[in-house]
Structures are given as C-alpha cells and as structure tokens.
C-alpha cells in the first residue's frame, strides 16, 4: 500500500500469524462463555501488543501510529474482543499517562502496563456523561494532600478484571474561585472505596471486559492528578481523537475478516449448478465490499500518517472512524446475506462478526457526534 513500508507489512504478517494461531482457536468459546481471558491477554503482552508506541525505556515497542493501527486491524480480522482489549489499553489507558503524566507517574505506572500482567482503563462514561462530557457527576474534592472522589462510571473497558491496575477517572473539581472544571485523576484499583463489577449480557465483544465502577470516598494522593487541574476535558478530547483511529482500525479489520469469509463461502456454495460467486448479484456485492474496505483503509492510514508527522488529524480521524464503522456494519450484513440461513447460527463465525460490529458506531464518538465534529471542521457551528 502507498502508506506502508516493508517494515509495516512484516509487522502485519507477524500479528496476523499470532492472531490466527493463538487467538482464533479460542475466540468462539470465549465469546460463547462471555469470558475474559487473562491468559490470552498476557500472551498479547508478551507479543508486544500492550505498549506498541511507547518508548523502549518504558517497556514499549517504540513503533509508529500506523504500526499500532495495523496491529489492531489484524486482531479485529479474527476477534474484535481481543482487539478491544488492546485498543482500549493502548489508546485510552496508557496514552494519556504518557502524553500528560509527569516523570514520576510515567516511571511508576508505564513499565507495569506493557508486560501483559496489568491493564489500565479510562473512566469517562456515566449515566449522564458520554457524548456530553460536561454531564459528569463524579466529583473529586481536595482534602489537603489528597482527593476524595465519589461517583460512578459505566461501560469502562478493562476496568473490572484481575489484571486491572487502575483507571484514569474524569471528575469535576473546584478551583480556588469556586468554579467547577473537569480534571483527570489516576486511581489504582486497590484504593479503598474503589469497586468495580463486570457488566455481562453484552451482544458484542463478549470476551472483553466491560465494567461498572463505584467510587465511595476514595482517598487518592493529590499527586495522582494527571497534568493540570481543570484540563481534563481537553485531555479527554485529544485522547478520543487518537482513540478513534483504533476504532476505525477495528472497523477495517472486522470488515476484512467478514469479507474473506463471505468470499470463501461464495466460491464454495453451489446453487443452480454453479458457485454463487458467479451470479452477478453476488459478485457485485463482493466487489462493493472490497472497494469499501480499500477506501476505509486508505482513509485511516492517511490519518495515521498525519499524526505521525505531527500534523492536525482530528478531522481525518473523525472521517476514518465514521466511515470504517459504518462500512463494517454494511459488510458484516452482506456477509451474513451471502451465507444465507447458515450465517444466522452461533457456530458460524460470521454471526459473531455481525454482532461485534454494532458497537463501532457508538464507542468513542457516535456516528451522530462524528458528523457534528466533521461539520465543525467545515466551519459550521
């Protein structure tokens, strides 16, 4: 591809082999049992998937954004749940600590978060806060050298499993003038008053860990403030800009996996004395699927290139995430259509892909919010 080097394609091959050989054999059972696998997460850590872009001094691989996105894409081609674990940990967990943390915070937490033995989460969403971050009800009140935090969070990936080390909590704090502002505070899971519970019964990403968090008088050192007080909203928005690239990668990868299954099925299944791939209605479906994936991938890779060059990429990230998530829905749907009745049963991987794509139009910016973001970049306010 125009955006990738030989190094990138060799890395793709490495991650694809890992996904095919290590993740794929377990994906169906983990989904069926709705079970998060610490063992599989540790293997992903050993492969270097947890800390891909971090400097080597923190235990990272020191690769560029495009390499990271290729990794998420290749994992999603096989299993969206494991891709979600990696994407949330890299983009939402460790990235804010690296980008906005001080020297002590980076040295304290980052080396622990690249091995696969620990995960870190990002606590933004609440009952009244998601697309509207200003709806945050969680409060952090300063008490000398500590924060006292009270509130709840929900839909937080990587927040309630045995590997969870902590969560970056977005909370309302009050400055010296009595004005409320959003701030980000690092809270370890072991903190007294911190409770997390896994949310089950999900339609999609059933093998990833989605948690509900309750904070009751959590007493956290004031030094756990991430960056500057009152800058939480800015940090959150910047984090989501980068995080949208990984969700776009999940869309591209999932679409690629569904397309490959549909293509194989269309060549194998016979009706009226020939493979159904020879019928124009089916061949045109496959051609459209291939075209949409190619366009989504190139749009995404362009955004990664801009980020790696230090250029503005927020608009391109929004476009990539919006388009990739929506074509993932279309392609997963068409893949089921090509399978026919057999695509509706749980022993067929395409059924899992059909379910897993649905969150992509919601997480890290709904399709509606992303259209607003793109319009704003056009000067429409």
Q: Are residues 140 and 54 in the same domain?
A: no
Q: What does the radius of gyration of the chain's CA atoms come to, in whole angstroms?
A: 21
Q: Are residues 104 and 198 in the same domain?
A: no
Q: Are residues 243 and 370 in the same domain?
A: yes
Residue 1 lies in a domain: no
Q: Are residues 163 and 135 in the same domain?
A: yes
Q: What is the pLDDT of residue 1?
A: 61
Q: Are residues 208 and 270 in the same domain?
A: no
C-alpha torsion sign, points 151, 157, 161, 163: negative
Q: Which of 153, 125, 170 is nearest to 213 (CA)?
A: 153
Q: Are strands 274-275 and 270-271 parallel, antiparallel or unpaired?
A: antiparallel
Q: Are residues 167 and 275 in the same domain?
A: no
Q: Which of 78, 97, 113 is the last residue of a domain?
A: 113
Q: Are residues 73 and 207 in the same domain?
A: no
Which parts of the chain fold into alpha helices (H)?
6-18, 24-33, 38-46, 65-76, 80-87, 95-100, 103-109, 232-268, 280-308, 314-339, 349-356, 367-377
Q: Are residues 260 and 369 in the same domain?
A: yes
C-alpha 98/C-alpha 263 separation (Å) is 42
C-alpha 336/C-alpha 75 separation (Å) is 21
Give the domain extent around 206.
Answer: 119-229
Residue 177's φ and ψ, nearest 5 degrees, are -95, 5
Q: Are residues 132 and 219 in the same domain?
A: yes
Q: Which of 99, 180, 364, 368 is catalytic?
A: 364
Burial class for 104, CB neighbours closer than 10 Å (0-12, 13-18, 19+): exposed
Q: How many domains does the chain have?
A: 3
Token digits for 48?
A: 């270097």
Q: Which of 183, 204, 229 is the last residue of a domain?
A: 229
Q: Is 296 helix (H, G, I), strand (E, B) or coil?
A: helix
Residue 310's φ and ψ, nearest 5 degrees, are 75, 20
Q: Which of 69, 77, 59, 60 is nearest to 17 (CA)?
A: 77
- CATH assignment of the domain containing 275: 1.20.140.10
C-alpha 220/C-alpha 348 separation (Å) is 47
**Hunting for tokens 């915070």 — which residue is that?**
105
Q: What is the pLDDT of residue 135?
A: 86
Q: Which of 196, 229, 262 is the last residue of a domain?
A: 229
Per-residue pLDDT of the chain (381 residues; tens, 9 = 90+): 678 899 999 999 999 999 999 999 999 999 999 999 999 999 999 999 999 999 999 999 999 999 999 999 999 999 999 999 999 999 999 999 999 999 999 999 999 999 999 999 999 999 988 888 778 999 999 999 999 999 999 999 999 999 999 999 999 999 878 889 999 999 999 999 999 999 999 999 999 999 999 999 999 999 999 999 999 989 988 998 889 999 999 999 999 999 999 999 999 999 999 999 999 999 999 999 999 999 999 999 999 999 999 999 999 999 999 999 999 999 999 999 999 999 999 999 999 999 999 999 998 889 999 999 999 999 997
Q: Are residues 72 and 30 in the same domain?
A: yes
Active site residue 73: no
Q: What is the pLDDT of residue 308?
A: 95
Q: What is the pLDDT of residue 132?
A: 80
Residue 101 lies in a domain: yes
């Amino acid at each position: 591809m125009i955006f990738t080097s030989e190094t990138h394609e060799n890395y793709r091959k490495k991650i694809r082999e890992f996904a095919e050989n290590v993740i794929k054999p377990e994906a169906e059972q983990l989904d069926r049992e709705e079970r998060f696998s610490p063992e599989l997460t540790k293997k992903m850590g050993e492969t270097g998937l947890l800390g891909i872009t971090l400097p080597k001094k923190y235990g990272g691989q020191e690769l560029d954004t495009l390499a990271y996105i290729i990794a998420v894409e290749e994992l999603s081609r096989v299993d969206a749940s494991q891709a979600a674990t990696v994407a949330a940990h890299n983009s939402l967990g460790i990235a804010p600590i690296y980008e906005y943390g001080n020297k002590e915070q980076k040295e304290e937490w980052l080396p622990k978060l690249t091995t696969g033995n620990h995960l870190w989460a990002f606590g933004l969403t609440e009952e009244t806060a998601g697309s509207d971050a200003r709806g945050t009800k969680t409060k952090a009140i300063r008490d000398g050298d500590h924060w006292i935090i009270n509130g709840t969070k929900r839909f937080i990936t990587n927040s309630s499993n045995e590997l969870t080390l902590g969560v970056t909590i977005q909370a309302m704090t009050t400055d010296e003038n009595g004005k409320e502002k959003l701030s980000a505070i690092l809270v370890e899971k072991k903190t007294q008053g911190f409770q997390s519970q896994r949310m089950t019964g999900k339609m999609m990403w059933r093998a990833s860990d989605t948690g509900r968090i309750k904070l009751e008088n959590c007493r956290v050192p004031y030094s756990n403030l991430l960056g500057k007080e009152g800058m939480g909203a800015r940090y959150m928005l910047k984090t989501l800009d980068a995080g949208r690239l990984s969700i776009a990668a999940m869309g591209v990868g999932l679409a690629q996996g569904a397309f490959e299954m549909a293509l194989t099925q269309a060549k194998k299944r016979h009706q009226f004395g020939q493979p159904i791939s020879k019928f124009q209605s089916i061949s045109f479906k496959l051609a459209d699927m291939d075209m949409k994936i190619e366009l989504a991938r190139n749009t995404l890779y362009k955004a990664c290139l801009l980020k790696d060059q230090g250029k503005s990429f927020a608009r391109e990230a929004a476009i990539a995430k919006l388009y990739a998530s929506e074509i993932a829905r279309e392609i997963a749907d068409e893949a089921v259509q090509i399978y026919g009745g057999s695509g509706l049963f749980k022993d067929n991987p395409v059924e899992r892909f059909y379910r897993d794509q649905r969150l992509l139009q919601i997480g890290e910016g709904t399709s509606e919010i992303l259209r607003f973001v793109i319009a704003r970049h056009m000067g429409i306010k």
